[in-house]
Structures are given as C-alpha cells and as structure tokens.
C-alpha cells in the first residue's frame, strides 16, 4: 500500500511557498510516496497576498523572502502561466514537478521574478531542459490546467474546504488532511505526524 500525497497550492502564495518545504521533507523521508502537485491557479492578476501575509509567513516558517519580492508584495500577481506549466509538467515529466516548483518559487519569492511572461521562465526551462509547448505561455488556463482544477474540485469536496495550501495524505481507503500550519516552523516534525497516520 503506497501512500500518496496531494499538495494543492498556488505558486504565488506565500503560505504555499512555506508548505512546499514540508513536501520536500516528505519526499526525502518517503521516496516511494507518490506526490501529486496540483496548482489551483488562484491568482489571476486581480489581487495579491500583500506585505502583511509575507511578514506573517516569514515569522511563522523557515522560508525567506528577497527584497525584490518584498518591494512588490502589494502588486497584483498572476499565476496562470505557472499553473499551465506545472499542469503540463505533471502530465509529461512528473518526476521534475517538485524540483521545478522549488526553482520557480525561489525565482519568485527570493529573486522577485513575477513569472508573468514566457521570458520570465527561460532560466528554469533551461536549467531543467524542459520543452513546453507555446500554449503553456498564454494568459488563459490550458486544458491541462483546467483538468487539474477539476481534480482539485473533487479533492476539495472530499476534504470539505476550498482553503489552500492543502496537504492530503492517502493510504488505501484512508485519507487525512495534514494541518500544515503545525509544521511550518519545524518542517521535520511532519515526518512523525505522517508516520503516525500510516501505522
């Protein structure tokens, strides 16, 4: 019975950025665990997390934010292209999804890259030797991203919340929503929590 982890996130969400650390910890601790990394495409250019949320995440987690990101924290964010890229990657090269997400979040939250146009993705695409189709870089959700959203809708119905980030652990017929906020300051602690659930 191989456990599976469903990570629902938005690449431009500071809490999702902090929660990615937990996914990294679990991937190392459970190399056989199947991890589904599903972008919920929350940020569409109309709003942002803002300085207050960035400050809160910085205080309550282990992640850092670069000055360039902090400078523009109150500017509207658009994660549509990232959602398209990640949906394509999850389908074509799922083993690269988590490393690419880490690289994109570093670019966004440390280096201040808005990830708003094709050019912004060039360094990561070259680093990971990716060849996504041009439709990934449109300003509207791709079919693959829309399909991911339908999968997320099913999970949300199961867990009874639209909140994100969300970490759902499944093993056989059992499913449990992990409270990510308990582990943000001490990411390694999530290993014990998962161990308890898998007993």
Residue 55 has pLDDT above 90, yes or no: yes
What pairing do the DSSP bridges indicate for beta strands 166-171 and 174-178? antiparallel
Structure tokens belonging to residue 144 = 């693959």
Residue 1 has pLDDT above 80, yes or no: no
Q: How many folded domains does the chain comprise?
A: 1
pTM for this prediction: 0.96
Cβ neighbours of residue 21 under 8 Å, at least 6 residues apart?
61, 62, 63, 184, 187
Q: In percent, how much of the chain has pLDDT > 90?
A: 94
Q: How far is CA 167 from CA 5, 7, 92, 95, 155, in A?
A: 7, 5, 22, 18, 10
Distance CA 67, CA 65 (A): 7
Distance CA 170, CA 167 (A): 10
Q: Which residues make beta-bridge pairs with 5?
A: 35, 169
CATH classification of the domain holding 57:
3.40.30.10
CB neighbourhood size of 72 (10 A): 13
> 141 in helix, strand or coil?
coil
Q: What are phi and psi of 44, to 5 degrees?
A: -120, 20
Q: Domain range for residue 60? A: 4-197
pLDDT tens-digit readout, 145-193: 999 999 999 999 988 989 999 999 999 888 999 999 999 999 999 999 9
Distance CA 80, CA 141 (A): 6
pLDDT score, position 79: 98
Q: How confident is the model at residue 2 (pLDDT cuts 50, 70, 90)?
A: confident
Distance CA 53, CA 73 (A): 9
CA 141 to chain centre: 16
């Amino acid at each position: 019975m191989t456990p599976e982890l469903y990570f629902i996130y938005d690449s431009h969400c500071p809490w999702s950025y902090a929660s990615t650390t937990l996914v990294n910890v679990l991937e190392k601790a459970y190399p056989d665990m199947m991890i589904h990394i599903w972008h919920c495409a929350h940020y569409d250019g109309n709003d942002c997390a803002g300085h207050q949320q960035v400050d809160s995440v910085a205080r309550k987690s282990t992640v850092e934010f670069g000055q360039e990101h902090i400078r523009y924290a109150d500017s509207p964010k658009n994660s549509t292209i990232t959602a398209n890229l990640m949906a394509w990657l999850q389908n074509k090269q799922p083993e690269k999804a988590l490393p690419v997400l880490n690289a994109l979040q570093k670019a966004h939250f440390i280096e201040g890259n808005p990830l708003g146009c094709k050019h912004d993705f060039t360094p990561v695409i070259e680093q990971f030797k990716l060849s996504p189709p041009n439709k990934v870089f449109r300003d509207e959700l791709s079919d693959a991203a829309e399909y991911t959203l339908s999968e997320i809708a099913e999970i949300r119905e199961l867990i009874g919340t639209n909140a994100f980030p969300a970490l759902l652990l499944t093993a056989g017929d059992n499913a449990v929503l992990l409270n990510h906020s308990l582990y943000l300051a001490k990411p390694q602690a999530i290993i014990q929590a998962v161990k308890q659930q898998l007993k």
